[in-house]
Amino acid sequence: MIRYRLFGRRARRAFVIALCGFALLALGSAALVSDALRDARRDVSGPVLPGWSDMAGRAAGIEIITSDNLFRMERTENGWTMPSRGNYPVRAEYLAELDAGLSSLSYTAALTQDPARFDRLGLDDPALGGSGTSLVITDADGNRLASLIVGDTRGDNRLYIRTGRQERAFAVEGSLPDIADPGRWLGLDFFNLEPSRIARAYIVPESGPAYILERESPAARNFDLASPRTWQLITAGAANGVANAGARVRFRDVGEAGDDAGAPIALHRASTFDGLVYEYRFFREEGAIRAQISVDASNHDVMDEASTLHRHVEGFWFVVSGDAYERMTRPLEQAATRSVTPVTE
């Protein structure tokens, strides 16, 4: 009983100390933001970009800068592309989101003019290593149509901004999509098949034997090891992960594929029950794992789907994460053991 009561007292004391620490932290954060809002004036109103709906059609370039990234999107005869990613197409729906977001912005207050306080609102210049996100939209002649530094958000429909290179922060009503991630603009999550469709997978890992996995129908829970016959799966579901791993992949980056990639270090090929066939050929370049992808159809019913995926992948390489690469090319010895001593000549 004595130990229990001592433990309880110490626990309560630790809880009180922790609670006080959290409270001080919250008060400190609030004080920093409050200090940044000290010069706020409420006599500011109106749209941030007057006449944007008329100017949007003239947009020809979009440049986005964060503390660790810089990329540009350009309008071409074939739509918007990202030159630094091999002119990979930009997703039209995300451009529409940006258009709607810029139209929605309206001033609610003029805030601090002190550059030393901008970091407290997430508005310090990213070109100088700050935490803000710079957005510049230009026309075909290079004239600026919009220039913002976007800072922290406040709830779902409020955020802090600076316009141009003005030395003043503003609170605005409205919202913008996530503009800082180049992968989002490019829609690098397009390879998204239902894993239950996968019927067969052929894996060539970096080391060890190539192998084939199959299952009889979509209702079958597990893949069988069809080849080599001298191996046996450790458990009934040991190969399910590698067989399905190529069905849903979010790529990290993209670029224009050259003709001098050389021989691939590994391969993952799979086919679906309804006739879609895809293949990843992996290369190790510049410290990353790049995949060149091909897609085909062996059934008329999936020709449109194959054509759409083919347009996404033709002529490009895609960076995959180390985890995704490991799942798609896992050596056979991690899922199976030899069941028969191989015959040697």
Q: Which residues contact 28 (CB under 8 A, 6 or more apart)?
A: none
What gap in Å lies between CA 197 and CA 243, rounded to an integer?
11
What's the rounded Cα separation, in Å, for the pair 16 and 86?
A: 56
Does residue 45 or residue 122 have the better pLDDT? 122
Mean pLDDT of the chain: 88
- Tell me if the bond preceding 182 is cis, omega within 30° of 0: no
Least confident of 8-12, 267-271, 294-298, 313-317: 8-12
pLDDT at 4 (0 to 100): 31
Q: Which residues contact 238 (CB under 8 A, 6 or more apart)?
A: 335, 336
Helix (H) / strand (E) element for 212: namely strand 211-214
- Name the residue with tokens 């040697």: 344
Check whether 301 has a pLDDT greater than 50: yes
Between the CA of residue 344 and those of 211, 276, 289, 338, 341, what are the distances in Å?
A: 19, 38, 35, 15, 9
pLDDT tens for 239-272 read 999 999 999 999 999 999 987 778 999 999 999 9
3-state SS, residue 69: strand
Q: Tell whether the model's pLDDT for residue 71 goes beyond 50.
A: yes
pLDDT by residue (tens digit) across 76-90?
A: 999 999 999 999 999
How far CA 116 is from CA of 87, 153, 168, 217, 270, in Å, comes to 38, 19, 11, 64, 56
**The pLDDT value given to residue 260:** 77
pTM: 0.80
- The runs of H, that is alpha helices, within the chain are 2-36, 52-55, 92-104, 182-186, 240-244, 303-313, 322-328
Cα–Cα distance, 337 to 328 (Å, whole number)? 19
pLDDT on residue 42: 59
User: Would you call 14 helix, strand, or coil by DSSP?
Assistant: helix
**Domain-wise residue ranges, the chain:** 1-36, 52-177, 191-338
- Confidence (pLDDT) at 286: 86
Which comes out higher in pLDDT, residue 4 or 329?
329
Better-scored residue on pLDDT, 139 or 29: 139
Measured in residues, the chain has a length of 345
Query: Which residues lie closer than 8 Å to 213 by C-beta, 6 or more apart?
Result: 200, 201, 202, 203, 223, 224, 225, 226, 239, 242, 243
| pLDDT above 50 for 115 | yes
pLDDT at 66 over 60: yes
156 vs 126, residue with greater confidence? 126
